[in-house]
Structure 1
Amino acid sequence: MTLTTAPSVPATHTPPAVPVAATHGGPAAPAAHTGAPLPARALTGTGLAALLVAFLPVNMTFGSVNLLEPAITTDLGVTVSGGQLVLSAYTTAFAATLVVAGRLGDRFGRRRLLAAGVGAFGVASVLAALAPNLITLVVLRAVLGVAAGLFTPQVLSTIQSTAPAKLRALGVTLFAAVGGIATVAGQLLAGAVAQAAGDHWGWRLVQILTGAIGAAALLALRTVPESRSTAPLSLDLRGAALLGTGLLLVVVPLTLGTSAGGPAPVLAMLAAGGAALTVFARSQRAAERRGELPVVPPSVLRTPAVRQGLVMSLLFFTGYGAFLYEFSALAQGAFGVDAWDTVVLLLGFGAGFIVTALALPAVERRTGRWTMTGAALGQAAVLVGLAFTVNGTHGHTTWTLQPLLIALGVTQALMYGPVLRTVLSRTPTWAAGVAGGLFTTLQQLGLGLGVALLGGLFHAVADATADGSADAGLPRGFAAAVAVQAALALAFAFFATRIARAGAPEAS
């Protein structure tokens, strides 16, 4: 599930009229752009619908391919780590692109970038369906991630900058809900098509259908007004390239593990990734000292609640991405069900998330600032309950999982919704778009790391405890990975408690 939401703070990346250093301990803001802003008509309900349809494939492709990963590995004749790489290629390329895509839209026009990204996504989806081998598929999945990263920030920025107040509030709510709906829809589509078409054609047809949705959205984008920022910031392409390179050099070896040719290549790539990220951090500090605004401004990260909220987002999505991957592999391996039955098992989880996300304002009026803490503690308990229940099913699917899966969806919605608002509410108004981009970047990075690290742990424990059967160890692998995810939830609760005790933020 790739959810992104934000409060109604215009994410136009417009710097303040006074030096940031005077109020937030950062550099002087870049000079405002002196050219006339692009005339923009107001966003209508039809335009909002087009934007939401354009956003659908982003989450549908994550949900569907996560479910179909076993079919992909079987069809292409690759190892489990190869299947994990197919998943991580998309999320990592997505994360690397997001850091600069919002500024590209601010500068060159959001609808223009939206159309380019959606069009590229549709073409890459069809080409991915024709991939003859793993290398080709991984490259095309990375292209899909770049395309998704290019247009995703434009959706919310367009809603915030061109919609009237009432439609803007509705658009933000629907944007969050569509993220969950699209993930469930992607799984439903994948399960139905795979059941009808089989392993070879099933996952390929799903790619084509996902691309077709993007094509439909592209035709409707004429109803969306063009907009751009009146003060576009520097692109910082060097910083974006360093960050993207560092992320790839870290996630890829973690995903491949020893299948990359032994520990030496893995350690070499991790060392190179660490070096790239170190150079990136230094370049960001240097750029800020020169009075520029880099892609990850250190001054924004100096706010404790912002820094803690971003760490919480990474913890949350690492566990979330891992859970979807592990549960799909567990159900199809240990329970002996097909892709469609796996979707049915996960429907309660998806429904719990979507319903709670829509009802979140009413829930928070009762639970207040302790919502995230209580939800995270509840999630840790639910995950432990799932581990015990799965290991007690003795290989048979059971509806006793449903209450726990529904509860997991509810607690995740109560964790996810407030954490982004926490980040942006403690961020200076001029940096709201920057903070939102950082949140989404860590979201995608977390999804990739969850599959790479906890998915790897899942399979390692499963293989070590298989007792002669390929699937006998899967429940134990699931329990081991879920125990780590419960620990991540407890860490999330720790940071949420610190933020809650700090009280309400000061106005930016």
Structure 2
Amino acid sequence: MTLTTAPSVAATHTPPAVPVAAPISAAVPHTAAPAPARALTGAGLAALLVAFLPVNMTFGSVNLLEPQITSDLGVTVSGGQLVLSAYTTAFAATLVVAGRLGDRFGRRRLLAAGVGAFGVASVLAALAPNLATLVVLRAVLGVAAGLFTPQVLSTIQSTAPEKLRALGVTLFAAVGGIATVAGQLLAGAVSQTAGDHWGWRLVQILTGAIGATALLALRTVPESRSTAPLALDLRGAALLGTGLLLVVVPLTLGTSAGGPAPVLAMLAAAGAVLTVFARTQRAAERRGELPVVPPSVLRTPAVRQGLIMSLLFFTGYGAFLYEFSALAQGAFGVTAWGTVVLLLGFGAGFIVTALALPAVERRTGRWTMTGAAIGQAAVLLVLAVTVYGTHGGAPWALQPLLILLGVTQALMYGPVLRTVLSRTPTWAAGVAGGLFTTLQQLGLGLGVALLGGLFHAVADGAADGSAAGLPHGFAVAVTVQSVLALAFAFLAGHIARAGDGQPEAA
């Protein structure tokens, strides 16, 4: 159960080189990064990991507390979905250029700025009087998180001694999963005692405070930067961010935006902006520059397929956490804390399997992802039938299925990340990692917007009302997620047949 970010992991791999466009390879600087004035220590590593904790904690906690937020602010379900999507979409849009900012202006400097902004925005979000203010501040949180997240592992990779570097990468991956669970535990415990009005607000403050404590220890983190930083391509980053927002916002609001006309208008504008973005990326590459999304990287079939798989995976992941939280609290009648307890098996299955993944893959080899995705589709279908059949009864009977779901997700996530990185040209490892993380965050937002919207639409259309219709809505949405899993399995099978770890011809 992890939302581990990928750019940092990319730095730990040296992918095999594949043919790329000549202008790009000529333009990419090969100057080695300078040795830092001082090496990263254990204390510095601890400060970096604490700074990273709130990134996934805020996703896990607000996902769980969305019903309380909508009730407290008196807004519709789509408004609550927008609170979730504002964070992930702004996060995704910022990530594409944040790593390059750190390379140019100093990673510790960007880390301090991002963590400080995250802490301030968290407190302000806790005081938000209405939906519009909260959505804006959640978007600011996403920008802040996107600003400092790439700096954490980049600093580990560039400043840590060899043994500490390996430990740091391992702990970074573990913290990603632990933070999501910790965010849910924090949300459940606080809301249980503070109530609907103050519960979600206190969670916002506490989440920001955890990250802000890292500011006190940042002096233990050495400064680092690249001697040959890549061009920022701010125009490309702005076009991509605008395009993503124009996709996610109308899909999240749906008919509550004032009917189909505004939704269609925003989606049409998104298509136009993203078309301009694609043209600018091709033009920049022809000029020998390295744009934020290099077309030559996407021409590698396994990379392109792996990125699509990551989008499919995180769309389903984000949707499932959102739908199950709403189902548990609306149909099962459990509290936010009870929902956390129900999801612990899911999280534990993911974390334990992720740790055992190397041993599993020695037996299953390159077909791990394919088998796991087919298994996930089967588990989701059984889960849909079970929930629809019980109509909100006996939620604890779902535990075996939730544990299996966590297991299959871990077997899908790790290999797809490695697939993207292992097939990427050496010069573009960080770029591919950034694209992976961008699609991860976009998928989380789209999952809530699309499948979460479907979930509520079916529930609201039930004859007995929304609450009674939640099991039906969950069954329909989860069935669609099983189709996404099968699409993932199809692409994984194609990659496996092409040969595990071997670069494909473009």
Q: In which range does the TM-score fall when normalised by the shorter chain?
A: over 0.9
Contact 2:103 2:225 in 1 (8 A): yes
In the TM superposition, what is the alpha-carbon distance from 1:347 to its structure 2 partner?
0.4
Contact 1:13 1:231 in 2 (8 A): no
Pair 468,428 (structure 1): closer, same or farther in 2 beyond 3 Å: closer
* 1:248-272 Cα distance to aligned partner (Å, 9 max, x none): 0010000000100111111110000
Pair 487,506 (structure 1): closer, same or farther in 2 beyond 3 Å: closer
Contact 2:7 2:150 in 1 (8 A): no
Contact 2:59 2:84 in 1 (8 A): yes
Pair 500,19 (structure 1): closer, same or farther in 2 beyond 3 Å: closer
Contact 2:5 2:176 in 1 (8 A): no
Matched, 1:482 2:478: yes
- Aligned sequence identity (%): 91
TM-score (norm 2): 0.95
* 1:387-443 Cα distance to aligned partner (Å, 9 max, x none): 111122232233211011011111111111111111011001111000000000000
The separation in 2 between residues aligned to 1:272 and 1:139, in whole angstroms, is: 21
Pair 36,433 (structure 1): closer, same or farther in 2 beyond 3 Å: closer
Contact 1:14 1:232 in 2 (8 A): no
Contact 1:377 1:493 in 2 (8 A): yes
Contact 2:377 2:486 in 1 (8 A): yes
The separation in 1 between residues aligned to 2:29 and 2:188, in whole angstroms, is: 50
Contact 1:173 1:358 in 2 (8 A): no
In the TM superposition, what is the alpha-carbon distance from 1:50 to its structure 2 partner?
1.4
In the TM superposition, what is the alpha-carbon distance from 1:36 to its structure 2 partner?
8.5
The separation in 2 between residues aligned to 1:116 and 1:133, in whole angstroms, is: 27
Pair 267,127 (structure 1): closer, same or farther in 2 beyond 3 Å: same
**What's the secondary structure of 1:473's corresponding residue?**
helix
Contact 1:128 1:140 in 2 (8 A): yes
In the TM superposition, what is the alpha-carbon distance from 1:12 to its structure 2 partner?
10
Greater Cα offset, 437-446 or 154-163: 154-163
In the TM superposition, what is the alpha-carbon distance from 1:505 to its structure 2 partner?
3.6
In the TM superposition, what is the alpha-carbon distance from 1:215 to its structure 2 partner?
1.1
Contact 1:8 1:169 in 2 (8 A): no
Greater Cα offset, 398-407 or 292-301: 398-407
* 1:455-505 Cα distance to aligned partner (Å, 9 max, x none): 0000011111242463x1100100000011000000001111111111634
Residues 107-186 of structure 1 correspond to what in structure 2 (within 5 A)? Answer: 107-186=104-183
In the TM superposition, what is the alpha-carbon distance from 1:223 to its structure 2 partner?
1.5
The separation in 1 between residues aligned to 2:18 and 2:453, in whole angstroms, is: 49
In the TM superposition, what is the alpha-carbon distance from 1:228 to its structure 2 partner?
1.1
Contact 1:349 1:408 in 2 (8 A): yes
* 1:373-393 Cα distance to aligned partner (Å, 9 max, x none): 111111111111111111222
The separation in 2 between residues aligned to 1:373 and 1:249, in whole angstroms, is: 33
Contact 1:20 1:29 in 2 (8 A): no
Pair 410,435 (structure 1): closer, same or farther in 2 beyond 3 Å: same
Pair 466,187 (structure 1): closer, same or farther in 2 beyond 3 Å: farther
Contact 1:2 1:443 in 2 (8 A): no
* 1:53-110 Cα distance to aligned partner (Å, 9 max, x none): 1111000000000000000000000000000000000000000000000100111111
Q: Name the residue aligned to 2:2.
A: 2
Contact 1:2 1:183 in 2 (8 A): yes
Contact 1:54 1:217 in 2 (8 A): yes
Contact 1:12 1:157 in 2 (8 A): no
Pair 482,222 (structure 1): closer, same or farther in 2 beyond 3 Å: same
Pair 89,36 (structure 1): closer, same or farther in 2 beyond 3 Å: closer
Contact 1:75 1:199 in 2 (8 A): yes
**What's the secondary structure of 2:465's corresponding residue?**
coil
The separation in 2 between residues aligned to 1:485 and 1:128, in whole angstroms, is: 32
Q: Name the residue aligned to 2:17.
A: 17
**What's the secondary structure of 1:399's corresponding residue?**
helix
* 1:210-239 Cα distance to aligned partner (Å, 9 max, x none): 011011111122211211122210000000
Greater Cα offset, 221-230 or 97-106: 221-230
Pair 90,428 (structure 1): closer, same or farther in 2 beyond 3 Å: same
Residues 179-328 of structure 1 correspond to what in structure 2 (within 5 A)? Answer: 179-328=176-325
The separation in 2 between residues aligned to 1:112 and 1:267, in whole angstroms, is: 41
**What's the secondary structure of 2:466's corresponding residue?**
coil
Contact 1:5 1:172 in 2 (8 A): no
The separation in 2 between residues aligned to 1:33 and 1:7, in whole angstroms, is: 18
* 1:307-363 Cα distance to aligned partner (Å, 9 max, x none): 000000000000000000000000000001110000000000011111111221222
In the TM superposition, what is the alpha-carbon distance from 1:155 to its structure 2 partner?
1.1
Contact 2:115 2:145 in 1 (8 A): yes
TM-score (norm 1): 0.94
Contact 1:196 1:202 in 2 (8 A): yes
Greater Cα offset, 458-467 or 262-271: 458-467
In the TM superposition, what is the alpha-carbon distance from 1:39 to its structure 2 partner?
3.1
Contact 2:28 2:290 in 1 (8 A): no
Contact 1:47 1:223 in 2 (8 A): yes
The separation in 2 between residues aligned to 1:108 and 1:449, in whole angstroms, is: 32
The separation in 1 between residues aligned to 2:152 and 2:321, in whole angstroms, is: 25
Uncovered stretches (5+) of structure 1, i.e. residues with no partner: 23-27
In the TM superposition, what is the alpha-carbon distance from 1:31 to its structure 2 partner?
6.1
Contact 1:60 1:183 in 2 (8 A): yes
Pair 78,56 (structure 1): closer, same or farther in 2 beyond 3 Å: same
* C-alpha RMSD of matched pairs (Å): 2.4
Pair 144,127 (structure 1): closer, same or farther in 2 beyond 3 Å: same
Greater Cα offset, 473-482 or 395-404: 395-404
Uncovered stretches (5+) of structure 2, i.e. residues with no partner: none
Q: Name the residue aligned to 1:507.
A: 505
Pair 498,216 (structure 1): closer, same or farther in 2 beyond 3 Å: same
Pair 116,15 (structure 1): closer, same or farther in 2 beyond 3 Å: farther
In the TM superposition, what is the alpha-carbon distance from 1:6 to its structure 2 partner?
5.2
Pair 419,83 (structure 1): closer, same or farther in 2 beyond 3 Å: same
In the TM superposition, what is the alpha-carbon distance from 1:10 to its structure 2 partner?
6.5
Contact 1:94 1:145 in 2 (8 A): yes
The separation in 1 between residues aligned to 2:356 and 2:341, in whole angstroms, is: 23
